[in-house]
Structure 1
């Protein structure tokens, strides 16, 4: 009697797996519907950045940074481009220190009575009036510089959170057809920094394993040349792949449609800029929202018409589901409530430094900032990093 093949012994055959079931030892592929739309992450992060521009209260700004950092910590995927968040945090810290250094060396327009120390002042010519080098450094001037720099640092960290949470390639697939060429350039620019950081870490680790120095001028030169060589190779490979896929092909559209598209898009972008400026300033609160909505409508109409000249299709597009709406709504709620708080109680969101007094934490704006934590609970958890040594074998 012929024995059946398999590991079950004589007369026992290995059962055939059902159609669509992955082989033994291979994890099942994760459904793309379990992933959040990348546009929702960017809208959430930009809304938090808008909220950061409405206040100079260091307690609220620290709370915004904490909220974005917590969401990144629990929902950041295990991918190379997700490691760029640390680079944005370091950039924000550098901006903060640089702003304080400028306030010490170049002085501050804020008058103060609490002198910390006095630097030797360098005399300047008459044409440089209003600028000074050195002189008296006051606690009020440093506090004003700290509040102002912390706002910019919070905005940079929010942008870093969007870079760490949203996949650049999936974001490119979700752009309208009219913005396809622009989207390719933006995605390539956004992926350059994470790839550069990954290459530098890989080369420095390889040099340490070989017992070679990876720090100092010599180590920087010997690491920089392979990094530039790899960047050039990726650029040539990207150009070849884009050419093979017919990048740049367009369809024939009438001249009237082309002119209408350009007018709607340009007018819509100008309206969005004017409306955004009105929302970010106290004087434009009345016209900001109507102009912004009109600009968005015009821009969307122009993008819809412009998409007719782009010959491309989407493979497995990312759905915009209920979780994407919740993530976007949480960020928009934070921005809207901060704008409302700025109009109702501007003193709480922008504490004064003359006279110098400690800032206070306003309760309901702080509660509004905590709404930004909603993505940490409604979005799917990232997949764990795969370790080939721990995976079962057949």
Structure 2
């Protein structure tokens, strides 16, 4: 403590020094704010990997796609409650595998085979159920075909789970066009309330167990379900009041000609997307599939842009689509495009046969194309430890 009459000058220590750090002491670097990646880029990257998964049944390539998405999620997943959904999608993918194999065992498979694994007792069915059988001979070829087919769907689910774990849903809502704002709000509210319902149910069940009351069965469900529904109703009313106070649902005056043009472009664009997708999935429509799909997308986007004029809203701190977003999107599109090219040039490598039963091999350049999907793990910022990458206003 300084004595009476002794003053402490600004910038000086009580010993008379300047109060500055000694020469040679390293100055801590200022903390820089790391701008998170645009959430739309994560979804486009994940959809690119999912599209690549639909082009092959090779289990080695599908496992490589799952590994690629899992590595990106493990290194770039933010520390937020909404990012914990990846494990649920993985469990759902495993359930799809088990259900598909169970159907192949119980209901049989149209794939012929000579390697019998087990013979189940067959249940006779009436004549009107021709083509369906219960039980019978289960072959290794049928099980392998079911495994390849289920693994493709499971990989697609894992890729969608990666997008859910990496893209912030509230920031994705801000990036939607104005015409889809109401739909996006409904989806985000549903995704936000589901974890609250699960947490309320777990909390009430734990409280009943501590009091020695049953928490299972019909009686436990009735005693737990009513408070959970009551809490959900209270949150819904509070959310509706908050949205009404913020002017949610206001629309601007739009001329009738603009409304009719918007409806025509949106409806025509969606029909074009459906026709183009059908053309891509069939062999006869391969010539017109891509042009019709692109024209439909352009018309739908124009309709959405015109439809956004009726929505009055502003964006707080809008996310910028920077060079990193382009690179992440390009990596997913490159994986999808190269796997599609490989499926047309070397279909035997990407679709290994099951009759006769042969071991799948890993094609080199399609595998190298899948590894392009690892690019986001090296060019995007790592999440901050213990906190979300970006706080959103409530």
Provide TM-score, normalisation by structure 1.
0.85
- The alignment partner of 2:325 has SS state of helix
C-alpha offsets along residues 327-381 of structure 1, whole Å, 9 cap, x if unaligned? 0000000111111111111111111111111111111111111110000001000
Q: Which residue is equivalent to 2:24?
A: none
SS of match in other structure, 1:117 = strand
In structure 2, relative to structure 1, the CA distance for the partners of 1:213 and 1:116 (3 Å cut) is farther
Give 3-state SS (helix, strand or coil) of 2:362's partner.
Answer: coil
1:113 alignment counterpart: 114
Q: Give CA deviations for 1:187-242 in whole Å, capped at 9, x if unaligned.
A: 2233344445555666677788x597998648973765555444333322222222
Moved more, 218-227 or 129-138: 218-227
Query: What is the match of residue 52 of structure 2?
Result: 51
Q: Which piece of structure 1 moves more, 138-147 or 248-257?
A: 248-257
User: Whose Rg is larger?
Assistant: 2
Partner SS for 2:276? helix
Q: TM-score, normalised by structure 2?
A: 0.85
Deviation at 1:118, TM superposition (A): 0.9
User: Would you say how many aligned residue pairs link Structure 1 and Structure 2?
Assistant: 373
Match of 1:22 in 2: none
Match of 1:96 in 2: 97
Q: Distance in 1 between matches of 2:44 and 2:381?
A: 18
Aligned to 1:124: 125
Please report how far the alpha carbon of residue 3 of structure 1 lies from its aligned counterpart in structure 2 after TM superposition. Answer: 5.5
Aligned to 1:292: 293
Partner of 1:254: 255
Q: Which runs of 5+ in 1 are unaligned?
A: 16-27, 387-394
Following the alignment from structure 1 to structure 2, what is the Cα–Cα distance between the partners of residues 148 and 213?
A: 46
Give the aligned partner of residue 356 of structure 2: 355
Q: Does the 8 Å CA contact 1:49/1:158 hold for their aligned counterparts?
A: yes
Give the direction of change, closer, same or farther, for the CA distance of 1:190–1:378 in structure 2 (3 Å limit).
Answer: same
Structure 2: gaps (5+ residues)? 20-29, 388-394
Mapped to 2, the partners of 1:245 and 1:66 lie a distance apart of 44
Q: 1:193 to 1:368 in 2, by over 3 A?
A: farther
- CA–CA separation in structure 1 for the residues paired with 2:227 and 2:356: 55
| Secondary structure of 1:95 counterpart | helix
Query: RMSD value over aligned CA atoms?
Result: 3.1
Alpha-carbon distance in 1 for matches of 2:148, 2:141:
11
| 1:273 paired residue number | 274
- Matches of 1:95 and 1:12 in 2, distance apart? 75
Deviation of 1:53 (Å): 0.8
Q: What's 2:347 paired with?
A: 346
